[in-house]
Structure 1
Amino acid sequence: MEYYKQLRKYVGHQPLILPGSNVLILNDKGQVLLQEREPGIFGLPGGLMELGESFEDTARREVLEETGLYIGALQLCQVYSGPDYYVENSNGDTFYSVSAVYKTFEYSGEILADGVESVSLQFFSPTKLPDGIMVSYRKFIEDALL
């Protein structure tokens, strides 16, 4: 079971601090790979840290799970945290996100949406992102690439 789900048994909907990683995977045209998480809602591959993982371990595991890609060298762009990253889910769970954002041009494997966490995967120009991209991911991309 995922670590944060174990914590929820004890704290209910009370705020948690949840660390995780996101990765800007860039192709040779400088386009960024976006994950369609549900129809019309886009984000970057990534997710929450599990016990014993580093931010880089989390990035690599989540990218593989969500895209089918193995990633090479990672460059840390920035770590995002604070009141702007407070989230209240529709089920009442609340948390503060701490997100390490990386970028890489090094990847191998076949891009494959798993149909569960990823509806589709597609490269986009950083200056022409889809309307349905979540606000935090737009900021991560703009800060890293523009």
Structure 2
Amino acid sequence: MGYVKELRKVVGHRPLILPGAVAIILNEEDEVLLQLRGDGGGWGLPGGIMELGESLEETAAREVFEETGLTVEQLKLVGLFSGKDYYLKVANGDELYSVTAVYMTREVSGELLKDGVETMDLRYFPLHQLPGDVVPSYRNFIHTSLGDLLI
């Protein structure tokens, strides 16, 4: 996240518009992979903020690998989320409006790895039995993007 750190040196805590990407990874049973975040923020989808020179798809693939140890392929764009509902003020006072590309895939390889810092746990959950502490924006990404599977 070097780019954002450099921006923060200039703008401080003022709001930024930050593009990023997450991945909805489904297994054969239509269960979704969730990450228990190391920052105490609850369960969410693997993903993060775009670095300079990356495409949104590259951002999703890089972040998935960094946070889960999995390599993803065949990423399909299923949604783009932005606006006032995606304003965040994080614990250190930084403010941002996120613009998030949501991708979906069933094509993964590798072994799940949790680093104990950014990722405390990784588990697949049935779509109708998501944990109560899923970050609200991620819950919205899942329900909006996978509506057909939730019926």
Distance 1:122 1:31 in 2: 9
Deviations along 1:35-90, one digit per CA (max 9) or x if unpaired, are 00036710000000000000000001000000000001011011000000011112
Counterpart for residue 23 of structure 2 = 23
Deviations along 1:112-142, one digit per CA (max 9) or x if unpaired, are 1111110010000111100110000000000
Counterpart for residue 106 of structure 1 = 107
Identity of aligned residues (%): 56
What secondary structure is seen at the aligned counterpart in 2 of 1:36?
A: strand
Distance 2:2 2:123 in 1: 27
Paired letter, 1:122:
R
- The alignment of Structure 1 onto Structure 2 pairs a total of residues equal to 146
Distance 2:11 2:2 in 1: 15
Deviations along 1:5-35, one digit per CA (max 9) or x if unpaired, are 1100000011101100000000000000000
Counterpart for residue 123 of structure 1 = 124
How high is the TM-score relative to the length of structure 2?
0.94
Distance 1:90 1:70 in 2: 31
Distance 1:78 1:144 in 2: 6
Q: CA RMSD in A?
A: 1.1
What secondary structure is seen at the aligned counterpart in 1 of 2:119?
A: coil
Taking the TM superposition and a 5 Å limit, the aligned residue runs for 1:70-85 are: 70-85=71-86
How high is the TM-score relative to the length of structure 1?
0.97
Could you list the structure 1 runs, at least 4 aligned residues long, displaced by more than 2 angstroms after superposition.
none
Q: 1:20 to 1:40 in 2, by over 3 A?
A: closer
Structure 1: 5+ residue stretches without partners = none
Distance 1:93 1:7 in 2: 11
Paired letter, 1:18:
L
Distance 1:126 1:40 in 2: 20
Paired letter, 1:117:
E
Query: Are residues 1:13 and 2:4 paired?
Result: no
Please report how far the alpha carbon of residue 145 of structure 1 lies from its aligned counterpart in structure 2 after TM superposition: 1.4
Query: Are residues 1:42 and 2:54 paired?
Result: no
Structure 2: 5+ residue stretches without partners = none
Distance 1:4 1:137 in 2: 22
Paired letter, 2:47:
G
Residue 41 of structure 2 contacts residue 135 of structure 2 at CA under 8 Å; is this kept in 1? no
